Structure 1
């Protein structure tokens, strides 16, 4: 009969801990996949006037909330049972923060879906759909890239996501100015244009949350908190320079 040594016991615990961390990471990516689909389909529902697709986006919100609660509980259990340190602790803490960002992305996607239902019932598509489609594509790519840099622990791609957020912010401001001008020229369009502006605002916020995830990835991998600093300083941080 084999003898269980102290070292083999440690190895067993380590393997089990690694499996728990891997499961935590995979569950976050599953939640991210659901949210990514919500975002892209919400934009498609709006642009195409597809009420059925909009309903599908809204129904999926329950799945996002369920995954949020499950992952939050897993993070709590890992901290309580394993008392992780260093990079393991950063992983767990980062996942806990990313879950919150993903849940808020889902909320914003639901807002877009609700507006898609409202506008599809009103009939003719208002001005601004070109901007919505373009900004929606950019934001969807940001979400996908943010999840990818988490999956790969890729800090360079995380920096690229942060840079893309600046581009989306500029696009939002430009589109908003254009729509305000159009409302001034045609007061009859004000109500519908305001609805489109709310959609653009929701998309801009989704981009902000994708940027947050990228910042969490940099902290998780490098131990550097790059929130509230410039992109240039963030790049220096991941290169180990000051």
Structure 2
């Protein structure tokens, strides 16, 4: 009876933590979409909402880490149970970093609204952010369902985000070369594109943690290397 009580108490505690992870994930998904929308629509109020939501997300990460530490101390989980807790902590850390990138995107909105828009760039950034958000949704679904195949699919989709980034990188170079007045806005937009690409990397890390949770092993060399701007000089030619 005592063992059953301990097991059920552990399960309840873990279920509560996983509910917090899902809440955090939902807030981060919204932050990604809202940050991109605020840029495209030049909506400073929405950008402010994204910046303010970051504090809520940070607080959730802190709460999740505290609850995980308590669960380890009180329940002394082993094997699979410990793997679940460690995965939760890794996932929450990645979610917090994604939210930071969304906040940084929103911060640049105040500067960009004072400049002439760069044709097509905002819509392209929003599509890129939407792809990252969909990847995150699937990564969280894979976590809940313990679906390693879906997680691996998310890992491979990061290449699409990298290719979007590479295309935008070239586009911004073209705009800057055509008109020096485009240099400042394009530099801001490039940082936003890079932040979005980094979000994709953190989503990929979440998916890798799901594979670890399900199989007990991290995937070997599954993550595709799609961002070649730092190693391929041809991407700097327009």
Q: TM (normalized to structure 2)?
A: 0.90
Paired residues of 2:94 and 2:206 also in contact (CA < 8 A): yes
Q: Give 5+ residue unaligned stretches, structure 1.
A: 1-7, 233-242
**Cα deviation 1:189-220 (Å, max 9, x = unaligned):** 10001111111011001111110000001101
In the TM superposition, residue 230 of structure 1 has moved relative to its aligned partner by: 2.7
> Shift of the alpha carbon at 1:124?
2.8
1:104 aligned residue = 97
Instruction: For 1:45-124, list aligned pairs within 5 A.
Output: 45-120=38-113, 122-124=114-116
Q: CA deviation at 1:231?
A: 5.2
Q: Provide Cα deviations, 1:158-181, integer angstroms capped at 9, x if missing partner.
A: 011101101111221121012112
Answering whether residue 219 of structure 2 is matched by residue 222 of structure 1, we say no
Equivalent residue, structure 1, for 2:202? 209
Residue 236 of structure 1 aligns with which residue? none
SS in 1 for 2:97: helix
**Offset at residue 117 of structure 1 (A):** 2.1
- Please give the alpha-carbon distance, in whole angstroms, between the structure 1 residues aligned to 2:122 and 2:39: 8
Matches within 5 A, 1:33-44: 33-44=26-37
The aligned residue for residue 9 of structure 1 is 2
Contact 1:39–1:106 (CA under 8 A) maintained in structure 2:
yes
Contact 1:45 1:51 in 2 (8 A): yes
Task: Give the whole-Å Cα distance in 1 for the aligned partners of 2:58 and 2:85.
Answer: 19
How many equivalent pairs are there? 223
On the 8 A contact 2:156/2:222 being kept in 1, the answer is no
Q: Distance in 2 between matches of 1:11 and 1:191?
A: 63
Give yes or no for the alignment of 1:22 onto 2:22: no
Query: Is the CA contact (8 Å cut-off) linking 1:87 and 1:221 kept in structure 2?
Result: no
- Flag as ranges the 4+ runs of structure 1 deviating above 3 A: none
TM-score, normalized by length of structure 1?
A: 0.89
Q: 1:131 aligns with which of 99, 124, 127?
A: 124
Q: What's the CA shift for 1:140?
A: 1.3
Q: For the residues of structure 1 that align with 2:161 and 2:171, how far apart are their CA atoms?
A: 15
- Aligned-partner SS, 1:149: helix
